[in-house]
Structure 1
């Protein structure tokens, strides 16, 4: 009888310890690693594609105009950092008959995935369309795991 009590006691202690350990793991994962302050579902990588010139040389937006746009519309919304890449791409008009090849700027921003940050992205797109007369700015967004 005594050995049964010892066995029951040992099993109870083992279950309690396992529960504490798993609770500590859950609490640890909820707090996050100090080197990785954000959970992956809390951050997004947004890429915006801005046409700056056609292959035929028309509709060219020079570097000074692009920098002025960055200074006025992008940097105030994302002052902590961003990346701009020069690109070249192509797309076909909906009618399927005309292929457009363009130089572009690709803006990459890592940001909190919140309504406010998404509104900032939309405001940048709207400002570019207004300033350039372009019909669209492509926005690609995905969840990311970040580390600073």
Structure 2
């Protein structure tokens, strides 16, 4: 058995820079995406993540949610909602579905979302109609 000092750094949560490939492409983070979208829309990050409902803030928030869903496929709708101070996952889904239409009205070009294994942006599963309990 290895002692704590002999265990690989990865197990302790450290990042071994020697194993990093020079040509590796880093995935954008949700924080970075929100900063970029906020700058594009002329709002601050704190305003973007707040619950303000003006059209300007709502459009920027939809854009950010869409871009996070597109560029961070590991993040679920619930994770995206939690990133925006606890927004419900169905609100995130609505924002993602509505952004292309909003962007078209604003004259912003939108890149399509990638298909996911479980359907388009986590489409809800059919309801279970079986009886539960007794």
TM-score with structure 2 setting the length: 0.26
Structure number with higher helix proportion:
2
- The structure in which a higher percent of residues are strand is 1
Greater relative contact order, per chain length (Cα 8 Å cut-off, separation 6+): 1
User: Which of structures 1 and 2 has the bigger CA Rg?
Assistant: 1
Q: What is the TM-score when the length of structure 1 is the normalising length? A: 0.24
